[in-house]
Amino acid sequence: MSDLKKALGEAAGAAFASLGLPAELGRVTASDRPDLADFQVNGALPAAKQAKKNPREIAAAVAERLKGDGRLISAEVAGPGFINLKVSDQALSERAREIAADPRAGAEVLAAPRRVIVDYGGPNVAKPMHVGHLRASIIGESVKRLYRFRGDTVLGDAHFGDWGYQMGLLIGAVCDEHPDLAALVARLNAEAAPLDGPIPEAFERITLADLDRLYPLAAASGKEDPAYRDRARRLTAELQAKRPGAYLLWRRFREVTQVALERDFHALGVDFDLWKGESDVDRLIPGMVEDLRDKGLLVEDQGAQIVRVARQGDKRDLPPLLVVSSEGSAMYGTTDLATILDRKQSFGPDLAIYVVDQRQADHFEVVFRAACLAGYAEEGQLQHIGFGTMNGPDGKPFKTREGGVLKLNDLIEMTRGKARERLHEAGLGEDLPVEEFEAIAAKVAVAALKFADLSNFRGTSYVFDLDRFTSFEGKTGPYLLYQAVRVKSLLRKAEADGALAGPVVVAEPAERDLVLALDAFESALSEAYDRFAPNAVAEHAYRLSQAFSKFYAACPILQAEPQVRAARLTLASATLTQLELALDVLGVSTPERM
């Protein structure tokens, strides 16, 4: 089973080939002039250039051969040498039946599935999430779902930032504020307390709110005061050396942060398969450093150990990978390199996709080069997927009104509030029980945030505009949910009336357009997959909803005579299945009603 677009592409390719021209020229795309045609083939233009012939002549020869294709009612040359294709109602009906009978609604499964890691989200202990983390979470979750849906074996990993300099800063700040805890840290060190024992009760006094409050202060002091910074570095090194006092206090930090983060991510429909931290690969670092040295890659530089990765002909200056700092600490890149090793040993990915802020592009380039030099990965197996920022109205990365970085939880609350308002405005969900209304508002909020993000190509920055994101009109998540709910209620009504679904017979223009929209699912998925670009799926979901909306307006369903009604019900339910699959790939779930 293959989509019409691809099947016709193969036929057009064969037509080009029979003229002694490359079959790739037969690529079929959706028509630019849907009023004239369903599909078009543009290959005659480049073919003519190559063969120094008249494009219209080549197009005419290809069109002539395509005329015999039973699925087409016409193949006409247009303009300078385009070929316009119009598909028969019969072929569209058959394709619609296939899609309707397919639980995957026309989406194919990869012929050669791979093992894939998606590294996304990347939250940190104590450091608040910023917009970069929000986008990393939304895009990463979708990439993970997309790859999995197409048949790959995929693991999503949060790569929790829990082993860096910010930990030393926090340990210092907490000890400054609580002399009794400072004394406890010293005592645990002296007693060589076990690292995996229970976290001392006294540390339970430290809450997430404390970390949130202390971290920015400590970070600022570290910037201003070299002595403060040096102490933080020393404490980081102590933590990494697993001195019990620092280590047990750190475990408390990690615990309170992770619980809160997992809850907030879950509210956003982001759930990780693995919640591994930078600290989890610490055990691999000594062996890795040894190995890098044996391979002749490690060099000493001003007391630090580095790997040089710059190459001749580089367009920009790439710094070396800092493996061990002069204090003896593992750095951000060190844990990333060790993580590559860890994943290789535990999972053996064919591909690791890092969905991280574009501003870290150089960091990944350095780490990836080092990994290839050391033989921990092959060229192309590690991919950094960067993205632009979500901006405020001032065009700069979004900040809260108070000028701070936004907290995920506050963002979700704010969006839910707006979603409730919108639902009331639209008179939706009014007579439903409160809990159901709340659950709907939560779904509308997630759909609003995610769709607003994913409908842009990831490289593009966009402006945060909650009013627009939550609107039930226009190209928004709530509009898509509304369409899905509309189909659900139609199908419920049909069931209550005892109206049965039956084989699709396409006749009306709006029915044709809806089937053409359904047919485009597979190509949207494969484009999104190849380009790490969920926006292709977002665009598809929107077009499908629009096509459904036009169909619903133009073609009576429940009032139609039984055979027509049966055919249209099948089309409606195939649309719903496909729309929900597409939304699920975007990480959005739909309510039953509203």
Which residue stretch of 92-100, 119-127, 526-534, 540-548 sits at the interface with ligand ARG (rule: CB under 6 A)? 119-127
Q: What tokens appear for 145 in the block?
A: 């779902």
Beta carbon nearer to ligand ARG, 265 or 469: 265
Q: Nearest residue to ligand ARG, using CB?
A: 122
CB of 354 to ligand ARG, least distance (A): 6
DSSP string, 4-34: HHHHHHHHHHHHHHHTTS-GGGG-EEE-S-T
Considering the complex, state which of residue 367 and residue 520 has its C-beta at the smaller distance from ligand ARG: 367
Q: Which helix (H) or strand (E) holds 502?
A: none
Residue of 545, 356, 520 lying closest to 447 (CA atoms): 545
Can you tell me which of 26, 43, 106, 122 binds ligand ARG, judged by CB under 6 A? 122
H runs (alpha helix) in 498-561: 509-519, 521-531, 535-554
Using the rule CB under 6 A, is 119 a contact of ligand ARG? Answer: yes
- How many amino acids of this chain bind ligand ARG (CB under 6 A)? 8
Nearer to ligand ARG, 42 or 325 (CB): 325
Nearest to ligand ARG of 354, 532 (CB atom): 354
Q: How far apart are CA 419 and CA 448, in angstroms?
A: 8
Backbone dihedral angles phi then psi of residue 434, each to the nearest 5 degrees: -55, -45
Min. distance of Cβ 339 from ligand ARG in angstroms?
6
Residue 501's closest CA among 3, 105, 96, 95?
96
Using alpha carbons, list the distances in angstroms from residue 102 to 18, 107, 195, 243: 34, 9, 53, 58
> Is the Cβ of residue 167 or residue 581 nearer to ligand ARG in the bound state?
167
CB of 332 to ligand ARG, least distance (A): 7
For ligand ARG, give the closer residue by CB, 71 or 343: 343
Question: Nearest approach, Cβ of 336 to ligand ARG (angstroms)?
Answer: 5
Instruction: State the DSSP H helix or E strand holding residue 483, giving kind and residue range, or none if neither.
Output: helix 477-497
* Residue 448 contacts residue 496 (beta carbons within 8 Å): no
As given in the structure block, the two tokens for residue 130 are: 């910023």
Q: Which residue has the tokens 């998606």?
A: 118
Count other C-beta atoms under 10 Å from residue 583's C-beta: 23
Q: Which is nearer to ligand ARG, 108 or 271 (CB)?
A: 271
Interacting positions 322-381 with ligand ARG (CB under 6 A): 336, 354, 356
Quick one: 161 or 429, whose CB is closer to ligand ARG? 161
Q: How far is the CB of 471 from ligand ARG (least distance, A)?
A: 32
Residue span 142-181 as binding mask against ligand ARG, x where in contact by CB under 6 A, dash where not: -----------------x-x--------------------
Q: How far is CA 162 from CA 165, 177, 534, in A?
A: 9, 21, 29
Residue 123 CB, shortest distance to ligand ARG, in Å, is 7
Q: Check residue 458 for interaction with ligand ARG (CB under 6 A).
A: no
**Amino acid at position 287, single letter:** G
Positions in the binding site for ligand ARG (CB under 6 A): 119, 122, 124, 159, 161, 336, 354, 356
